[in-house]
């Protein structure tokens, strides 16, 4: 998971390495992932999300489709 100044920099970085472009989205969406994913880690009894729960978190950040299937 990497951050870039702009999509132009993503494309250049992928082209230079011969990599397919993966999923590109906004830091706001990443923050929407980070809050539920990590926000309760200091709570006693915290559990990792099940795959279905994790896909729900992705969807809550607007991240859907095969790339986000577990």
Partner 1 sequence: MTDDDIRLHLLRELIASGAAPSVGDTAAALGVSASDAAAAYDRLGANRVIVFRPGTRDVLMAAPLSAVPTPHVARMADGRSHYGNCVWDALGVIAMLGRDGDVDTVCTDCDAPLTLAVRGGALAPTDAVVHFAVPAARWWENIVFT
> Are 52 and 14 spatial neighbours (Cβ–Cβ below 8 Å)?
no
Minimum gap (Å) between residue 60 Cβ and partner 1: 14
Minimum gap (Å) between residue 66 Cβ and partner 1: 7
Instruction: Select 29 or 60, whichever has its Cβ closest to partner 1.
Output: 29
| DSSP summary character for residue 20 | P
Q: Which residues bind partner 1 (CB under 8 A)?
A: 1-7, 9-10, 12-14, 19-31, 33-35, 37-42, 44-46, 48, 54, 58, 66-70
Nearest to 27 by CA among 54, 2, 57, 10: 2
């Amino acid at each position: 998971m990497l951050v870039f100044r702009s999509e132009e920099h993503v494309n250049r970085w992928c082209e230079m390495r011969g990599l397919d472009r993966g999923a590109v989205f906004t830091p706001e969406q990443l923050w929407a992932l980070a809050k539920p994913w990590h926000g309760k880690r200091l709570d006693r009894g915290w559990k990792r999300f099940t795959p279905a729960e994790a896909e729900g978190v992705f969807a809550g950040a607007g991240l859907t489709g095969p790339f986000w299937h577990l």
